[in-house]
Amino acid sequence: MRVWIDTDPGFDDLIALALAAESRLEMVGIGLVAGNAPLERIVQNALSITSAFGITAPVYAGADRPLVRPRMTAENVLGLGALGTIGASLPTSTQSLSAGHAVLELIRAAQEQPITLVALGPLTNLALALRLEPRLATWLEGIVLMGGSTDRGNHSAAAEFNFLADPEAASVVFSSGAKITMFGLNLTRQV
């Protein structure tokens, strides 16, 4: 399966990227979005993680803030930089950020060949891509995302961080007509 991973790597997304690296998934690109930490830190985290796990997919910086609201992070839960103590054990990156913007590169990749988008952070990049190119919703094989919850939140009693960080973006994505498979916080807590 060809996938584009859109992520805000803290230690939670580190595990997802490590699992993806060991799977049969063909990662065609990794888009980064501000969320668990500011975008500058997310870029550092992603490059260290891709180096650590031998991931060779191009890595692109994307949105540095939500569509409408002020930026928030999950560093109060995940620790400074969102990697906690794990961050200190990651190797120095041997990779560089790829030229181009994550939103535009996602659109380009989906035009070239069918891909599945795997969203692990706030949906800002995807919402921007859908606004720029509404046909993206039909070009994608599907969207698999981690967000929301059917029971309780992780940033407040009711709110899951990825949707809380950019609810307007989540609204754009869920209104797009794309085939969406949602894995809520309640499911990830079971895993």
Reported pTM: 0.94
Q: Does 12 participate in catalysis according to the annotation?
A: no
Please report the pLDDT score of residue 159 as a whole number: 86
> Which percentage of the chain shows pLDDT scores above 70?
99
Q: What is the pLDDT of residues 111-154, one digit of tens each?
A: 999 999 999 999 999 999 999 999 999 999 999 999 988 887 78
178 pLDDT above the threshold of 90: yes
User: Catalytic one among 6, 8, 12, 13?
Assistant: 8
N residues, the chain: 191
Please report the pLDDT score of residue 1 as a whole number: 92
Please report the pLDDT score of residue 90 as a whole number: 84
Q: What is the pLDDT of residues 6-62, one digit of tens each?
A: 999 998 899 999 999 999 899 999 999 999 999 999 999 999 999 999 999 999 999
88 pLDDT above the threshold of 80: no
Q: What is the mean pLDDT of the chain?
A: 93
How would you label 46-75 residue by residue, b for 16+ Cβ within 10 Å and e otherwise?
A: bbbbbebeebebbbbbbbebbbeeebbbbb
Residues 6+ apart with CB under 8 A from 144: 116, 117, 118, 119, 180, 181, 183
DSSP H stretches of helix in the chain: 11-21, 39-52, 75-78, 86-89, 102-112, 124-132, 136-139, 161-165, 167-174, 185-190
